A and B are shown apart, each in its own frame.
Chain A
Amino acid sequence: EDQVTQSPEALRLQEGESSSLNCSYTVSGLRGLFWYRQDPGKGPEFLFTLYSAGEEKEKERLKATLTKKESFLHITAPKPEDSATYLCAVQLYTGANSKLTFGKGITLSVRP
């Protein structure tokens, strides 16, 4: 069965302490891997899409990378406003219509 696993479940960082969030997947036929940020009481906010191994994308303090088995979301010198839940999702080549399968998310807390 296709699976998306995110680790750790929760991460607490000091402001300025860089780290990485992991998203591993056991799927066949990956069309794309998506990263979203979700703040409490709000809908997920799109961050990045990665389509092929070796691809990297950056936005401010965030950088997403992709291999054939996993994706990392690197956070450089995080600030308290980066505190949120980060979700990854995979989209597969399955038939005429593809859907997103989400991981359970990583809750990041950044202390000032």
Chain B
Amino acid sequence: DTAVSQTPKYLVTQMGNDKSIKCEQNLGHDTMYWYKQDSKKFLKIMFSYNNKELIINETVPNRFSPKSPDKAHLNLHINSLELGDSAVYFCASSQAALGRGNEQFFGPGTRLTVL
């Protein structure tokens, strides 16, 4: 059984389009995250939700809007896509946002290519 799943795995789109990436975790975790991994493989946090509440919002363009319909799902919607948005986006989850035992478990990633 997949613990953290993302769809789609690959996403190729034109500049200016709007797209969404979906994430689901079946671990019963309270906290979920979105990360961006650029071409140099540098992994950087974008957002974090704890029990559907936004708790971390890094310096990310407001074209990126996360949504958490319930604590098992965290989606990422991107408006007006730009070339620089091309990257691999990872979803992750942890049992809690703080304290011991909050190791993060990652999904397989979504490779976004903006043409």
Chain A residues with CB under 8 Å of chain B are: 32, 34, 36, 38, 41-46, 49, 51, 85, 87, 89, 91, 96-102, 104-105
Cross-chain pairs A/B with CB under 8 angstroms, 11 sampled: A36-B106, A43-B4, A43-B92, A43-B109, A44-B106, A91-B102, A97-B55, A99-B56, A99-B58, A105-B42, A105-B43
With contacts A34-B103, A104-B41, A104-B42 known, what are 13 further pairs, Cβ within 8 A? Answer: A32-B100, A34-B104, A36-B106, A42-B108, A44-B106, A91-B102, A96-B98, A97-B50, A97-B98, A98-B97, A100-B104, A102-B44, A105-B41
Task: Give 1 or 0 for each of B73-93: 1 = CB within 8 Å of chain A CB.
Answer: 000000000000000001010
**What is the total number of residues of chain B having a CB less than 8 Å from a CB of chain A?**
25
Q: Do A97 and B48 contact each other (CB < 8 Å), given the known contacts A44-B90, A85-B41, A87-B43? A: yes
- Chain A residues near B106 (CB, 8 Å)? 36, 43-46
In the A-B complex, the 9 residue pairs with the smallest Cβ-Cβ separation, listed nearest first, are A43-B106, A102-B43, A97-B55, A44-B106, A46-B103, A99-B45, A43-B108, A43-B109, A43-B107
What is the minimal beta-carbon distance from A6 to any residue of chain B, in angstroms? 11
Q: Tell me, in angstroms, the Cα distance from A104 to B41 when the chains sit together.
A: 7
Pair count A-B, CB < 8 A: 56
Q: Tell me, in angstroms, the Cα distance from A10 to B84 when the chains sit together.
A: 26
B4, B42, B102: the one contacting A102 at CB < 8 Å is B42
- Chain B residues near A87 (CB, 8 Å)? 43
Q: Tell me, in angstroms, the Cα distance from A32 to B101 when the chains sit together.
A: 10
What is the minimal beta-carbon distance from A76 to any residue of chain B, in angstroms? 23
- Chain B residues near A105 (CB, 8 Å)? 41-43
The residue of chain A having its C-beta at the shortest distance from the C-beta of B106 within the complex is A43
